[in-house]
Each structure stands twice: as structure tokens, then as C-alpha cells.
Amino acid sequence: MAKISIKSEKITPFGGIFHVMEHFPRFVGPVIDKVLGLRCTSFGYQYSEISSSFILN
């Protein structure tokens, strides 16, 4: 007999984008910052944060 797990999370019309964006800063973000380099601290945002905003838009 198969086990059934009950999820308390609500199903949203956005599908898995929230799950992807939870893992983006941990896995893809450091690679982007390593390849492109770090920006000056006076700008306020790193390249990985800018690319994640492009993905969400």
C-alpha cells in the first residue's frame, strides 16, 4: 500500500516558481557571482540578485 503524505501548503497557480526561487540563492547565485565577479558595495545589489529579479519578471 502506498503512503500518502498530506501537505499543509496551499496550491498556487504559480506552480513551482516559489520552490525554484528558494533554491536559487543557494545553488545558482554563487555561480553567477563567481563568474561575473562581485559588484562594488556602493551599488547595493549583486549580479545574482539582479538575475533573480529578471527571472521573476
Backbone angles phi, psi at 12, to 5 degrees: -115, 160
Which pLDDT does position 40 carry in this prediction?
80
pLDDT of residue 14: 66
Instruction: Considering only CA atoms, give the Rg of the chain.
Output: 16
Question: pLDDT at position 35, please?
Answer: 93
Tell which residue, 57, 32, 1, has the closest CA to residue 45: 32
Give the per-residue pLDDT at 24: 83
Q: Residue 13 has what DSSP assignment?
A: T
Residues 1-57 pLDDT 10s: 667 766 666 666 666 777 777 888 888 889 998 999 888 878 788 888 888 888 878
Total-model pTM: 0.58
